[in-house]
Amino acid sequence: ALRMSYLRAGGHNPAILDQLVHLQVEATVLEKGSTGLRKRAVPAEPPGAAAGGLDMALLAMELENRRLEDELLALKVRRERRADAGSRVAQRQAEELAQLQAEVGMLRCHTEWMGPRLPPTILP
């Protein structure tokens, strides 16, 4: 939830995203408890054997996947914001164009109402 809130607020700093993923993994480990991690390892192997290395590699891969997912989400959020900003600019330009067209129409009506005018004479 913290990571999603950070991304929705426009956060995209990779270091902070990494820290948030690390905190999430750490919280998951704490929720499962240390016994959940020991159950995955084969009891006959000493600590630090191949299974422990696989667990660490799996954890590293999971962290990298989450970091990449966060990066993708941040890119999507930025793209949506740019699209929103672009549509606001287009809307503002359309409003300005409509206003200018209305002014041109008023000026045409005004010149038709006033009739043709002769240019002022230029004296030598």
Distance CA 34, CA 40 (A): 11
CB burial of residue 55 (10 Å; 0-12, 13-18, 19+): middle
Task: Kindly state whether residue 107 falls inside one of the protein's structural domains.
Answer: yes
- Name the domain count of the chain: 1
Tens of pLDDT, residues 32-54: 765 444 444 444 444 544 566 67
Domain that holds residue 5: 1-39+54-112
Task: Kindly state whether residue 88 falls inside one of the protein's structural domains.
Answer: yes
Task: Kindly state whether residue 117 falls inside one of the protein's structural domains.
Answer: no
Could you tell me which residue, 36 or 24, shows the higher pLDDT? 24
Mean pLDDT in residue range 8-32: 80
Task: Kindly state whether residue 59 falls inside one of the protein's structural domains.
Answer: yes
Task: Give the three-class secondary structure for 69.
Answer: helix
The confidence score (pLDDT) of residue 25 equals 79
Task: Kindly state whether residue 123 falls inside one of the protein's structural domains.
Answer: no
Virtual torsion, Cα 93, 99, 103, 105, nearest 10 deg:
100
Task: Kindly state whether residue 97 falls inside one of the protein's structural domains.
Answer: yes
How far is CA 23 from each of CA 17, 63, 121, rounded to the nearest angstrom? Answer: 10, 10, 84
Task: Kindly state whether residue 47 falls inside one of the protein's structural domains.
Answer: no
CA 27, distance to chain mean position in Å, is 25
> What's the pTM value of the predicted model, to 2 decimals?
0.39
Residue 85 pLDDT > 80, yes or no?
yes
Task: Kindly state whether residue 78 falls inside one of the protein's structural domains.
Answer: yes
77 neighbors 8 (Cβ within 8 angstroms): yes
Distance CA 68, CA 35 (A): 29
